[in-house]
Structure 1
Amino acid sequence: MSRSSTGDRGQTEPLAALVAVSVMALGLALYGGYLSDVLPGNSDRHVEGATQDRVWNEIQTNGVFDESTDIETVLVAGSTGSNEATDLPEGYNVYVAVTRVGDDGRTEVVDSHYFASDSSPAGDTPSDGVPDAANNATRPVPVRESPGDVEGGRLVVSVWT
């Protein structure tokens, strides 16, 4: 029966082990950097969701949008005394609309407002309409028509530069 009596079996040179560990660390760092750029929600370019959350927090009362609420008044009144809405992202045009389905089955705009890139009120709708390149966020919201009469609606926030 022949036996091998080599004492260095299964061992690796220290330099080769250091290179292998370095390559693995570099690979993980590159992969993590790639994922942070690719995954949604990790970029400051996706401001529509955060803007929608801030707008909803301002215009709702006890989790319901009241049909008598004026979006412009509420968003500007919550600011620091200036004639601009401070809850909106700086440098972006923002269009906010609350809609509901009417009795005839058509979508009706309950209230809407457009804010220019300096966050100043600029009318009910953009003069050229909301551009196709705008980032939109939509969410269902309850809309109160009168006390005790709450229907389903939608909050739409469009953001563009």
Structure 2
Amino acid sequence: MSYSWTPEGEPRGQTSPLAALAALFAVCTGVSIYVVALGGAVPVGDDRAYADSTLHRVSGELSDGGVVDPSTLDSARSAAPAGRQLNVTLTAGDRRWATGPRPPTGTRTDAASRTTSVRLGPGSVAPGRLRVEVWR
């Protein structure tokens, strides 16, 4: 350890550059080990959730001023993620509209839904629910 002197004549300790480099190396090694361990804990694969982002795209595609017109439901199929199948269902009261194939039985699907306003006719709007199901 080297010393420097203050104007008052008292010694003041300083860290040698070698000790500072050793401390920096120890911190970087610790962070690297943490990142490697965390990376092994994250599942690898294509099990991402597609439904929430797809629902957002479908809702934007179908709604005009926050109101969904059931006659435009077929245009929502273009919002399907690449390599995925999409089913869009719109319900209002006891009425139901759907587009896209139904998921096969036993297939794991990712689904999301949100409330929306549904245009039932000229000047007639009712509360409803927009639901999407996405699968491979």
Question: Structure 1 length as normaliser, TM-score?
Answer: 0.58
1:21 maps onto 2:21 in alignment? no
**Residues 98, 153 of structure 1: 8 Å contact kept:** yes
- Cα distance, 1:152 vs. partner? 1.4
Alpha-carbon spacing, 1:90–1:149, altered in 2? closer, same or farther (3 Å) = same
**Aligned-residue CA RMSD (Å):** 3.3
Larger Rg: 2
**What residue in structure 2 maps to residue 134 of structure 1?**
109
Match status 1:93 vs 2:115: no
Deviation at 1:61, TM superposition (A): 2.3
Kindly indicate which of the two structures has a greater share of residues assigned to strand.
2
Please name the residue that 1:71 is paired with: 73
Question: Among 113, 128, 136, which residue is 1:153 paired with?
Answer: 128
Partner letter of residue 97 of structure 1? T
Name the structure 2 match of 1:47: 50
| CA–CA separation in structure 1 for the residues paired with 2:106 and 2:127 | 24
Greater helix fraction, Structure 1 or Structure 2? 2
SS in 2 for 1:90: coil
1:26-78 per-position Cα deviation (integer Å, ceiling 9, x unaligned): 5456667849x86xxxx9823222211221222222221124x1422x246xx
Identity among equivalent pairs (%): 33
Partner of 1:3: none
> How far apart, in 1, do the equivalents of 2:65 and 2:16 lie?
68
Aligned equivalents of 1:10, 1:148: Cα separation in 2: 82
- The number of residue pairs the alignment matches comes to 123
Give me the whole-angstrom Cα distance separating, in 2, the residues matched to 1:143 and 1:154: 8
After TM superposition, give the deviation of residue 20 of structure 1 in Å: 2.1
Note the C-alpha offset of 1:129: 4.8
Classify 1:64/1:16 alpha carbon distance in 2 versus 1 (closer, same or farther; 3 Å): same
Structure 1 unaligned residues grouped into runs of 5+: 1-5, 77-84, 103-107, 115-122
| Mapped partners of 1:32, 1:148: distance in 2 | 57
User: Structure 2, unaligned stretches of length 5 or more?
Assistant: 4-10
Query: For the structure 1 residues 136 and 17, does the alpha-carbon distance in structure 2 shift closer, same or farther, using more than 3 Å as the test?
Result: same
1:88-111 residue CA offsets vs partner (Å, 9 max, x unmatched): 211111111112233xxxxx42x1
SS at match of 1:55: helix
